[in-house]
Amino acid sequence: MDKSTKEMLEAILKKENTTFKKWQDQTLEAGLMAIFMRKGEEFQEFKNWMIEREAQKKMTQFLSTQLNLSNKNQQAQNVYRESEEN
């Protein structure tokens, strides 16, 4: 999220007498969407940010899984080489 969007969201939340720290992710998302809708603001940018955030989470999860599989494959190859040497 770019700095100006974050500042805008923080200002809205402060005006509503709350802070980011009081919200868990799902509550924050639902609360911000409700604030935007209630105030009649355009929230397409917020939705795009949420979609991008979910995509980043999924990509991180995918890369973590790939790294884990690669490490296990390397371990298996090492065990095989050791057994061939003996």
Q: What is the domain range of residue 18?
A: 3-85
- Give the confidence band of 39 by pLDDT, cuts at 50, 70, 90: low
Model confidence at 67, pLDDT cuts 50, 70, 90, reads very high
pTM: 0.43
Half-sphere exposure (Cβ direction) of 45: Cα atoms closer than 13 Å: 10
Q: Does the pLDDT at position 85 exceed 90?
A: no
> 10 or 15: whose pLDDT is higher?
10
Share of the chain above pLDDT 90, in %: 20
* pLDDT the model gives residue 59: 93
Total of domains in the chain: 1
Q: What is the mean pLDDT of residues 17-29?
A: 60
Backbone angles phi and psi of 49, in degrees to 5: -60, -40
Taking the CB of residue 27, how many other CB atoms lie within 10 A of it? Answer: 10
Mean pLDDT value of segment 71-81 = 90
| Mean pLDDT within 20-39 | 68
